[in-house]
Structure 1
Amino acid sequence: MFKHALRLPFRLLGIPLYLDLTFLLILPLLAWLIARQIAPFVALFNLPITPGALNEGILPYALGLAAALALFISVVIHELGHAIVARRYGVNTERITLWLLGGMAQFKKMPTQRGAEAVVAIAGPITSGLLAALGALLLLVLPEQWPALYFVVAYTTFMNVALALFNLIPALPLDGGRVLRSLLAMRLPRMRATQIAATVSRVLAIALGVVGIFSLNIFLILIALFIYIAVAAEARFELADELLSDLRVHELMSTPVVSLPATLSVGDLLAKMLRDARHAYPVHDDSGQLRGMITLQNVQGAPPDAPIGDYLTELPERIDPDASAADLLEMMGRQDEPRVLVMPEKGPVLGIITRTDLYRALQLLTGRTPAPGH
């Protein structure tokens, strides 16, 4: 997910911020929709401003863009609320991504302490509620002679209330669904808690979809589809996590693995790949230090006599051989690279694990025959 996200050139509280391409599509559409709804919004909430002056020329579209940006800034702050509380449990946030349906904070791993997931999840709606309260206070002091600013603050305040309430819907992967699962897990095994929360989530997703169809609300339909698809992935991940929790990484890795010199030719590399039936190797320099990774894809079309050191990609993440296979699953889930190096903190590469290795282990553990091929 979010394979085509653009990383912004700054961090928030040390957390990278990404913009998915779907965000760049939804932003102008949302700005246009807000611009078309200025007068109805003012009338609905009986705001003490005259909407006529806000509908002249390009001003409504400028206000729509300002309100849309303010909304997404609020979403980022909502996600930072999750991240700050997760950090209190020793869990770091890998990134925050803005996309079609809002924002998503990606954690290295959800905290495992009893009830911790509920605390982390509820932090988001509480943050949005605090932003709404701040907006309401601003509306009390903003002069009516500033109708443009008054509208943007009023719209952002309303949307923060809506954001808080919407995220409290008890459907995974929304905050309310995570709170529900965490509370259930205080009395039930986590897998059983996930199954119950997933069932509730599917029912709510269908209900949202039906409402969206009859009200012709495309956003509700998209949200319903997202919940229905995401909850299935969540349930599968929890099952896999439980199955792998008793396995160690060294039991799954492919061995032996030797690093190759950066001066090796592409032709010799291809011959070695054919002999070893392996598609990737770590590569070292003259001093023995690992420089990067070489894969079959890297050298497609390369001259046979060219050194492989000219075609390296970054080394994949590393994991300790004695780490839990469940940690490996989590690592695989948050990276695009299909392989992980197995090596202790100080020591040589002991092996490589690919997604295929992990899937085969899961298939064996669930009693299915693994598919042939690597």
Structure 2
Amino acid sequence: MAGRGIFLFRLFGIPLHLDLSFLLVLPLLAFLIGNNLPLYLELFGLPQDPSLLENPWPFALGLLAALGLFLSVLLHELGHALTARRFGVETRRITLWLLGGVAQMERIPKEPAKELAIALAGPAVSLALALFFHLAKAPTGPLGFLTHYLALVNLMLALFNLLPALPLDGGRVYRALLALRKPYAKATRQAAALSQAVALALGLFGLLAFNPFLLLIALFVYMASRAEAEATLLAQALEGLRVKDLMTKDPIALPPDTPVAEALRLALAHKVSGFPVVEGERVLGVVGLEGLEGADPLAPVARYLQPPLLLSPEEEALAAMERMAERGYARALVVEGERLIGVLSKTDLLRAFQVRLLGLDTPRGVG
């Protein structure tokens, strides 16, 4: 899936990023559109103007059409983001990448009506753009090609996104409709099952049509729908839990002058993969086994400190997990004021998930 990418600027306060895959696909898409320009002119019923088929017009029109496509995708994602904002949900970033765009929201509302409105906002923007370019169609020339092309691709963008497959808009619409009459987690599982069936159908069609791009989309839908279902189950398992309920209390803390060899011995003895480093009551950082590879055994651990992720004991467990995942932390330190009171690790979160799946209550305040 798309990563964070290269930051460009903010739109309505939302960071816009470009994934590296976008920089690869843009010239390729421009070449493919320009190379097939005569076919597009025939499809749109436009005259085969010889001047448009001479260099550099085909590539220039292809590049403009490709940029118009990605701008349309950006407006589609802004439709989701601005509608979500109306319901109190902010968007962390919008990323343009190989397969279009992704609006990463802080959360997906569990209220079916809100999710339905947010999901339908993107296709509504695309349909509005399709209508605009249809009404603005020029009969000939470069403008004729671009208006016809953008009218078509925005219509296709709206229709494709309405396929009933997560994480596409149609999959979210389907889940929201299911959630009107059944639990959200069950609705997600049912929507994910249909999504995987749609992905397999897309993959089969892609194989028969020898279309690698369609195969890539099918793979993306299949993997993303599974991830969506797993994330929903995890969110349900951690619902109502706070960091203080899952953290390991009174963790072993090392002074900064502890030799690396001693830290490794303690890690083996206590079956842990890292330690907070504390001087007095002040947290200096963390040291993990992953950061001690090739370290001098006699050197103090202070030489290999990493900046810690600090959490409040009252923070929601799900929000803490998202912060840890986003920043790539395997463990976080729980502090009250400046005093270290616990450590939260991925193992703690996984344990809570497994316990909740078994239908048991997670012990509160026990690590």
TM-score (norm 1): 0.83
Match of 1:72 in 2: 70
Matched, 1:177 2:177: no
Return the alpha-carbon distance in structure 2 between the equivalents of residues 341 and 137 of structure 1: 58
1:217-256 to 2 correspondence within 5 Å?
A: 217-256=211-250
Match of 2:30 in 1: 31
Count of paired positions:
359
Matched, 1:211 2:202: no
Aligned residue among 309, 312, 315 for 1:320: 312
Paired residue type of 2:236: E
Mark the CA change 1:221 to 1:263 in structure 2 (over 3 Å): closer, same or farther.
same
Return the alpha-carbon distance in structure 2 between the equivalents of residues 278 and 61 of structure 1: 58
Paired residue type of 2:133: G
Return the alpha-carbon distance in structure 2 between the equivalents of residues 247 and 328 of structure 1: 11
Match of 2:5 in 1: 6
1:257-336 to 2 correspondence within 5 Å?
A: 257=251, 270=264, 273=267, 277-282=271-276, 288=282, 292-303=285-296, 311-316=304-309, 318-336=310-328
Q: Is the 8 A contact 1:117 1:179 kept in 2?
A: yes
Q: Is the 8 A contact 2:116 2:176 kept in 1?
A: yes
Return the alpha-carbon distance in structure 1 between the equivalents of residues 185 and 43 of structure 2: 45
Aligned residue among 86, 95, 98 for 1:97: 95
Mark the CA change 1:186 to 1:84 in structure 2 (over 3 Å): closer, same or farther.
same
Mark the CA change 1:30 to 1:307 in structure 2 (over 3 Å): closer, same or farther.
farther
1:254 Cα shift? 2.2
The answer for unaligned runs of 5 or more in structure 2 is 360-367
Match of 2:365 in 1: none
Paired residue type of 1:183: L
Q: Is the 8 A contact 2:237 2:352 kept in 1?
A: no
Q: Is the 8 A contact 1:212 1:221 kept in 2?
A: yes
3-state DSSP class of the match of 1:115? helix
When the two chains are superposed, the root-mean-square deviation of aligned CA atoms in Å is 3.1
1:225 Cα shift? 1.8
Matched, 1:362 2:353: yes
The answer for unaligned runs of 5 or more in structure 1 is 369-374
TM-score (norm 2): 0.84
3-state DSSP class of the match of 1:301? coil
Counting aligned pairs with the same residue, the percent is 44
CA deviations 1:217-265 (Å, max 9, x no partner) are 2222221222122212222222222222243332321232476666766
Q: Is the 8 A contact 1:342 1:349 kept in 2?
A: yes
Mark the CA change 1:264 to 1:176 in structure 2 (over 3 Å): closer, same or farther.
same
1:358 Cα shift? 1.7
Match of 2:53 in 1: 55
Match of 2:125 in 1: 127
1:187-206 to 2 correspondence within 5 Å?
A: 187-206=181-200
